[in-house]
Structure 1
Amino acid sequence: MILALLNQKGGVGKTTLALNLAGAWAAQGRRVTVLDADPQASALDWAQARSHAGLPRAFGVVGLPRETLHLEAPDMARAADHVIIDGPPRVAPLLRSALLAADLVLAPVQPSPLDGWASAEMLRLIDEARVYRPGLRARFVLNRCAARTVIARETALALAQQDIGALRASVGQRVVFATAMQTGRLAAELAPKGVAAMEIARLAAELETLS
C-alpha cells in the first residue's frame, strides 16, 4: 500500500503521523519506507537525529521531493509492505504527483475553522486526481485535537459529512510527539503504554481495513 499524508496547509502534523505510523507497522514486522516529499525534509531530519543518537534504524526514510514521485514510488512499493509519503504543503506539482502515486490519501486536519479552506482545496485536488486514478481512496483524520472540546466535535462532524469522510480514529495534541520528533524517537518508544501510542495503533489498524 502507498499511503500519502497530504494537506495544502502546513503544520497539521503530517510528518509526525507518517513517522509514527511507519513505526507502528515496522514493529509488527512490516517492511516500511517513508518518502520525504516535503522540501523542508523534516522526516530526514528525524532520521538523522535518530542516527546521531545511536538508535537502530526503525524503517527506511528516503528524500524524494520530486515531481516524478508518482513514477518512482510504485517501484519502491514492490520491495515494501507499506510506502508512506510525507507530502508537502502548498507545492502543487509535488502534491499532485503524490496524489497520483497513492493508493490511499490521509489528510490530517486540526480542529480549527482556519483549516476549512485547506480541506476544500484537498477535496478538489483529490477529485482531479481521480480522473487518472479512479480507485484512489481518501480520508480525513482529526489530528492534534482535544477530543472533548466543542470545536473538536464540530470539526469531526463537518469532516464526516464530506464526500471522502473521516476516520473514526483521531490523534490528540500530546507533548510526547514533539519530544519524539526532536530526539529521533517514536511516541511508542518513549511511552509504550501511553495514550499517544494507543492512538497511533488505532489509526494504523483502521487504515489497514482500507488497504
Structure 2
Amino acid sequence: MIIALLNQKGGVGKTTLALHLAGELASRGKRVTLIDADPQGSALDWSQQRAHEGLPRLFGVVGLARDTLHREAPEFARDADMIVIDGPPRVASLMRSALLAADLALIPVQPSPLDGWASAEMLTLLAEARIYRPQIAARFVLNRCGARTIIARETAETLADHDPPLLASTIGQRVVFADAAQSGRLAREIDERSPAAREIAALVTEIGRLCIERIAP
C-alpha cells in the first residue's frame, strides 16, 4: 500500500503527518518506508537528527525527489508493507509522479478558506492522474486545527460534501509536533498519552479501515 501526502500549498504539515503516520504504522508491526519526495528534504533531516540522538530506527527514510517516483516507488514496496510519500509543494511534475505511485492520496489542509482555494490545483492534478489510474483513492485531512474554533468547524462543513471527502479524524495544532520535528522523535515517544499521539493513532486506524474497505471483495 502506498500513501502519498500531497498539497500544492506549502506549510500545511505534510512532513509532520507523513513522519507520524509512518511511525504509528511501524508501532503496529508494519514494515514501513518513508519516501521523502520534497526537494527540501525535511524528512531526511528528521531521520538524520534521530540517528544523531542515538534513537532506534523505526522505519526507513529515503530521498527520491524526482519525477520517476511512480516507476521507482513500487520497487521499495517489495520490501515494505506500507510506503508513505512526503510529497513536494508546488512542483507539478513531482506531484504528478507521486499521485501515479499512490494507492491513497491524503491532502492535508488547515482550517482556512485560503487552504481550500489552494487545493484546487491539487484536485486538477488528481483528476488528471485518475485518467491513467482511476483506482486512486483520495481524502482531505484537517490538520493544525483547534477543534472548537468556528473556522475549523466551517472548514469541516465545507469539505463534508466535497469530493474527495474529508476524513473524520482531525489533527490539532500541538506544540509537541514542533518538539518532535526538532528532536528526531515522534509525539508518542515524547508523551504517548498526549492528545497529539491519540489523534495520530485515530487517524491511522481510520486509514486502516479505509484500506480494508478498498481491498475487500
TM bin, normalised by shorter chain, reads: over 0.9
- The CA RMSD measured in Å over matched residues stands at 0.6
Question: Distance between the aligned counterparts of 1:118 and 1:100, measured in 2?
Answer: 21
Q: Any stretches of 5+ residues in structure 1 without a counterpart?
A: none
* Structure 2 stretches lacking a partner, 5+ long: 212-217
- What residue number does 1:92 align with? 92
Aligned match of 1:18:
18
> 27-36 vs 113-122, which deviates more?
113-122
What's the TM-score once normalised by structure 1's chain length? 0.99
Offset of 1:127 from its aligned partner?
0.8
- 1:126 matched to which residue of 2? 126
**Separation of aligned partners in 1, 2:9 and 2:16:** 15
Distance in 2 (CA, whole Å) between partners of 1:119 and 1:156 is 14
In structure 1, the residue matched to 2:184 is 184
Aligned partner letter, 2:4:
A
User: How far apart are residue 160 of structure 1 and its match?
Assistant: 1.5
1:202 aligns to what? 202
Shift in Å, 1:79 = 1.1
Q: What pairs with 1:17-36 in structure 2 (closer than 5 Å)?
A: 17-36=17-36
Letter matched to residue 177 of structure 1: F
Aligned counterparts of 2:155 and 2:117: Cα–Cα separation in 1: 13
For this pair of structures, how many residues does the alignment match? 211
CA distance in 1, matches of 2:40, 2:74: 23
**2:172 corresponds to:** 172
TM-score when normalising by structure 2: 0.96
* Equivalence for 2:76: 76
